Structure 1
Amino acid sequence: MKHEIPTEFTIGFLNRTIEIHWGLHAWLMFICWFVLVPFGVMSIRYLKTRPVPLGLPRGVGKFDPLFIWWVMHIWTLYTAIGLSLLGAAIALVVSGGFSGSVHSFFGIATVLFGTLQIVAAWNRGSHGGHNHLSSDPDDPSTWRGDHFDMTPKRRLFEAYHKPGGYFSVFLAIGAVASGLVQFWMPAIAITLGLIFIGGFVLIVFSEFRGYRYDTYRAVFGSHPDHPGNKKREGL
């Protein structure tokens, strides 16, 4: 079934008709999902510092080179999801609602699962740890936290977060592919191909160099007495 793509939108209260620039929508969503999101994923996957027994220094700043990977991860993803919500909302308004096209299904699903990533992050639990400013380094009873102790709440978040993120990217690929079928833009098609090739090469290089470190050990350390390390002893 072929869906008509509107080219104009009338702003009722202004009694004015404006041209719809779908190319801007396409580039906005493309940059969100194939520039910002991959950058956020790669930063937390390959830019973490090498684990040491006691992890990050106590009170390390968010913009410290030792911890900047976390800031890069969270804010690129927040930005991507925020702009995606804006882009989807504008598309729905100027289209007069949900069109029912394959692209619209993929697009809405992508934004929905992307938003769920944010909701999941808000519910990942407390941090804890011997190196947190709220704890006393000499009193282990103050180190408690969902992340440090790897509670079921934190494990549930980690079990969902990575697969959920990859599934969102899979949906985004479907959205851009179906969008290109509706509204062909060779520049996006070529750029997407280059990103896939460049990303593949970068991942292979990073894996070969051994840049992928475990998040728990990078933050809290590789000491065998840490709760999270005890639960994964031998892994």
Structure 2
Amino acid sequence: MNESASHIPTEVYLDFLGQTIPVHWNYHAILMFTVWMVLVPICVLIIRFGKPKPTEFGVTTKISITNVKWWWFNVHKYGLFLATFMALGGAVLALVVSGGFSGSTHSMFGIATIAMGCLQVVSALLRGTHGGKYYKSPDLKDPSQWRGDHYDHTPRRRMFEAYHKTSGYFTIFFAAGAVGSGLMQYSMPVLVKLMFILPFVYLAAWVYLEFLGRRYDGYRAVHGYGMEHPYNKEREFL
């Protein structure tokens, strides 16, 4: 392990413990690297390419963490919830042992990343209702039972998708800046090498899955490819 930069504290006194404890910044680096360079990109890759191939009726069973038909959605949702929780915890600990916000490039990238990550969670909670003509076996003769923000593609759902999808990529950009600047302060050669290697691994996977045509339309995958569905009808000529 390389020696840390001289301005980085190597120990901290905690009043509630009444003692000074050593600070292991390598744990912080490994945690944040794992969260932002491994867990988050994989969750993004899965939601983009893990959706099932569109069928006539889509996915008719209820969204549930135990329902394997929704595995791609659950991995994305709960994986990113976990990632945000872990990153938030790592950031709080870093602020405590550092004695507050340092104002360094790393801290600015880090705070921006955590803030945007938390906003991603908030936006996901505000995405609206699901709905669907065939979702959870509604009465096919009663359209009022089909209503939902996702199925009807309401302005609320449009706002969610416009923000959540776009902001997600920007969050990864800030995360790369945070991890990169952090490793410049506290060098860990293995993580530095992985930071250069992993983007090419993700690029290869992304290109291969695009080549296979695995990027299915989310609306059609979930609700079916029939033109009777509102958002399919809206995009009839697309």
So what's the TM-score if we normalise by structure 2? Answer: 0.93
Change in 2 beyond 3 A, CA 1:205/1:4: same
Change in 2 beyond 3 A, CA 1:15/1:61: closer
Equivalences for residues 216-235 of structure 1 within 5 A: 216-235=219-238
Deviations 1:2-56 (A, max 9, x none): 9821111101132211110111001101111111111111111111110012211
How big is the shift at 1:133? 2.8
Q: Which moved more, 1:50-59 or 1:139-148?
A: 50-59
2:132 aligned to which of 129, 132, 142: 129
Deviations 1:51-101 (A, max 9, x none): 012211344754444321111111110010000110000000110000000
1:57 aligned to which of 53, 57, 60: 60
Contact 1:30 1:176 in 2 (8 A): yes
Percent identity over paired residues: 49
Letter in 2 for 1:67: W
1:180 and 2:193 aligned = no
Contact 1:3 1:101 in 2 (8 A): no
1:91 aligned to which of 86, 89, 94: 94
Secondary structure in 2 aligned to 1:66? helix
**Greater relative CO, 1 or 2 (CA 8 Å, sep 6+):** 2
2:71 aligned to which of 51, 68, 76: 68
Equivalences for residues 1-235 of structure 1 within 5 A: 4-59=7-62, 62-133=65-136, 135-235=138-238
* Structure 1 unaligned blocks of 5 or more: none
Aligned alpha-carbon RMSD (Å): 1.6
* Structure 2 unaligned blocks of 5 or more: none
Letter in 1 for 2:59: L
Q: What is the aligned residue count?
A: 234
Superposition misfits of 4+ residues, deviation over 6 angstroms: none
Letter in 2 for 1:75: Y
Change in 2 beyond 3 A, CA 1:219/1:62: farther
